[in-house]
Chain A
Amino acid sequence: MKMGKRSKAVRFNKWGYIFLIPFLVTFVVFQLIPLISTIVYSFFEYYRAGLKVVGPNFLGLQNYIKLFSDADIWKYTGNTLIIWLMGFVPQIIVSLLIAAWFSDPSLRLKGQRFFKTVIYLPNLIMAAAFAMLFFMLFSKGGPVNSILVNSGIFAEAYTFLDHVWPTRILIAFMNFLMWFGNTTILLMAGMMGIDTSLFEAAQVDGATSTQIFFRVTLPLLKPILLYVMITSLIGGLQMFDVPQILTGDASPNNTSRTLIMFLNNNLYSKNYGMGGAISVYLFVMTGILSLLVFKFTNGKKK
C-alpha cells in the first residue's frame, strides 16, 4: 500500500518537470543564449564600417579597456545616476507622505480610491507617448510657453530642451510622475503590515503624529524603503524611452544621454564588440543590486 502510493507520487511528480518545459525552453533560447552570446561578443572585435564587416576577431579585454578608459561611459553613467536621483528623491518623499496619510486611521481621508487610481495612472501610460507629449507641451510654441508668456512670467518663449538642467529636470519630473504612485502603493502595503498596537502604545505615551512617523513608522519601514530604493535604481539604470524620445538623443552636449541610449547607439551603428562590453557592464551593476535585494527580502522573511 505504502509502496504503491510512493510510486504513484513519483509517477505524478515527473509532471513537475513536464510543466516546467515551456518556461525553461523559452528562457534558454531567448534569454540565456542571448546573454551568453552578448558576453562572448564583448571579447571580440566585431563592427561594421560602412559596408565592410570587421571581425569577429578575438581581442581579450581590449573592448573593456577601451570602454573604461574613455570618458563617455563615466559621463553617461553619471547622467543616468543624476537623473535617477533627481526623480527618486521627490518620489520617495511624496510617496512616504501620502502613504502615511492614507494609512493613518485618525485622519480618515475620504476618496482614497480615487486618489490611488489617479496617482497610479501615469505608470500605465506609454512612456514613448508621454515623452512625445512633454516634447510638444514644452516646445517653443507649445502650451507651457504660451501660458508662461501670456501670464507674464516669462518675457519670451523659453527653449527648455536646449538647456542642460531644464532637460534633466523634465526627464526626472516625468520619472517622478510615472513612479511615485507605484511607490506609494508599495509603501502603504508595508505600513499596513505594521502592528497597530505599536501606534496605540506610542499615542498613549503621548507621542505626536510627527513623532510617531519618524520614531515608529520610518524605522519599521526601513527594509521596504531599501527594497524600493534598490529596485528603483535597477529601473533607473534601464532609463531609455523618456530621455530618448524627449530629447531625440540630441540633448545639449549629450548631458541627458543615458547608458541604455549609449548601448542603443552601438546597436544601431552595429558595433557589437563595444555593445557587448556595455551590456556586461550593465549586467554586473544590475547583478550586484539584485543580490542586495535578494538579501533584504530573504532577511525579511526570517
Chain B
Amino acid sequence: MAVKFDDKQKASKGVGIGIRRVIAYVVLILVSFLCLFWFYVLFINATRSEGDLNRGFSFLPGGNLAANWTKMLNFPMISMGTGMLNSVIVSTLTAALCTYFSTMTAYAIHAYEFRLKKPMFTFILAVMMIPTQVTVLGFLQLVRGMGLEDNFIPLIVPAIASPVVFFYMKQYMESVLPLSLVEAARIDGSGEFRTFNSIVLPLMKPAMAVQAIFSFVSSWNNYFTPSLILHDDKMKTLPILIAQLRSADWREKDMGVVYMAISFSIFPVILVYLILSKHIVQGLAMGSVKG
C-alpha cells in the first residue's frame, strides 16, 4: 500500500513512473539488441553455405554447420586447430602466473612491515597506467636479443608483473586476511612460504578466480604483442589467424567458413562468460568500488 501511494505521489510530479519504466525497458531492450544482434548473425551465418549467403540475409540457420566446421579446420595456410591450442596454452599459463604472483606481491605489501613498503606500493600504482604498446619497441629488441622470437615465454612471463591485478588482490586481501591468522600460523611453526601457499591462497580463491578469468580473456584476445613476436605458422594464436583471414583475398573464400572461424575463436570466451557471468559482473563491480 505504502509503495502504491508513493508511486501515485510521484506521478503527480514530473513524468509518471509507469511511463519512465516503459522508456527504461525500451531503451534496455534496444541496447541489448545492439549487443547481441551481431553475434546472432555471426552464428547463423556460420551454419550457412556460400550459396545461401549469396542469396541474402536470413534469420534462420542453414544446414551447413558440419561442412563449414570441417572446411574451417582444413583451411589452407591457416590452421585454426593449432591456433586454438596455442591460444589455450598461452592464456592458461598467463592466467595462472598472473594470479599466483599478483597475490604473492599483494601479500608482501599487506602482511609485512619493511622500510620500502610505502614507496613500493606507490611505485606499483604509478606504473599501473604504462601501456604495453609504449614499451613494445624495446620489448621486441629484448626478445630478439634473448632469442625468444616465436616463443610463448615473452607472452606469458611478463604477466607476473600485473599492477592492476596486484591492486585488486591487495584490496581483497585487506577484507579477508586478518594478520592474526598469519601470526597464529607462525606460532604453529609454519614457514612463511608455506603459510602463503596453504593459508593465504585458499582464502583468496574467490578473488583469484575472478582475476584468472579476466587475465585469461585479455590474453586470449591479445593481438598486438603476439602479432609482433609470433611469425611461425605453428606458433600463431587465434587473433593473428583472424587478422590473416582479413588480409587474405576473402572474395575467393567460402564466407560461411570465415564466419565459422570467427565463431570458433570467440565461442570459448562466450561459453565461459555465460556459465560464470554472475561472478564476473559482481567481481567487476567489487573491484570498481574500490578502484
Contact = CB atoms under 8 A, between A and B. Distances in A.
Contacts of A276: 137
A193 B255 CA distance: 49
A275 B104 CA distance: 35
Q: Chain B at the A interface: mostly helix, strand, loop or mixed?
A: helix
A240 interface: yes
A293 B137 CA distance: 26
A38 B6 CA distance: 63
Interface residues of A, number: 101
Interface stretch (A47-55, A61-69, A71-79, A127-135): A127-135
A118 B284 contact: no
A46 B273 CA distance: 45
Q: Chain A at the B interface: mostly helix, strand, loop or mixed?
A: helix
B138 A126 contact: no
Interface in B26-81: 27-28, 31-32, 34-36, 38-39, 41-42, 45, 54, 56-57
A164 B202 CA distance: 53
A214 B19 CA distance: 19
B85 interface: no
A16 B10 contact: no
Given A30-B157, A35-B130, A98-B28, A126 B104 contact: no
Contacts of B289: 189, 192-193
Nearest to B7: A106
Interface in B94-139: 101-102, 104-105, 107-109, 111-114, 116-117, 120, 124-131, 133-139
B50 to A, nearest CB: 11
B165 to A, nearest CB: 11
A237 B82 CA distance: 32
B24 to A, nearest CB: 4
Contacts of B245: 132
Nearest to B113: A13
B28 A113 contact: no
Given A186-B288, A286-B129, A12 B135 contact: no
Given A94-B31, A238-B131, A282-B131, A185 B114 contact: no
B137 A141 contact: no
A136 B281 contact: no
A143 B57 contact: yes
Quick one: which of A133, A210, A283 has the most chain B CB within 10 A?
Answer: A133
A293 B130 CA distance: 13
Contacts of A101: 24, 28
B51 to A, nearest CB: 13
Interface residues of B, number: 100
A1 to B, nearest CB: 15
A177 interface: yes
A241 B223 contact: yes
Contacts of A98: 27-28, 31
Contacts of B247: 248
Given A121-B35, A124-B269, A34 B136 contact: yes
Interface string B151-186: 000100110110000100000000000000000001
A35 B288 CA distance: 28
A201 interface: no
B142 A37 contact: yes
B192 interface: yes
Contacts of B250: 136
Contacts of A225: none
A188 B285 CA distance: 8
B239 A279 contact: no
B133 A16 contact: no
Contacts of A84: none
Given A12-B186, A118-B36, A248-B247, A279 B137 contact: yes
Interface of A: 9, 12-20, 22-24, 26-27, 29-31, 33-38, 41, 94, 97-98, 101, 106-109, 113, 115-122, 124-137, 141, 143, 146-147, 150, 177, 180-182, 185-186, 188-189, 192-193, 206, 208-211, 234, 237-238, 240-241, 244-245, 248, 260, 263-264, 267, 272, 275-276, 279, 282-283, 286-287, 289-290, 293-294, 297
Given A9-B113, A16-B117, A209-B14, 9 more contacts: A16-B111, A20-B109, A22-B101, A31-B130, A34-B141, A106-B17, A126-B223, A241-B223, A248-B247
CB-CB nearest 9 A-B residue pairs: A208-B14, A16-B112, A34-B138, A19-B108, A37-B138, A290-B129, A38-B138, A143-B57, A34-B139
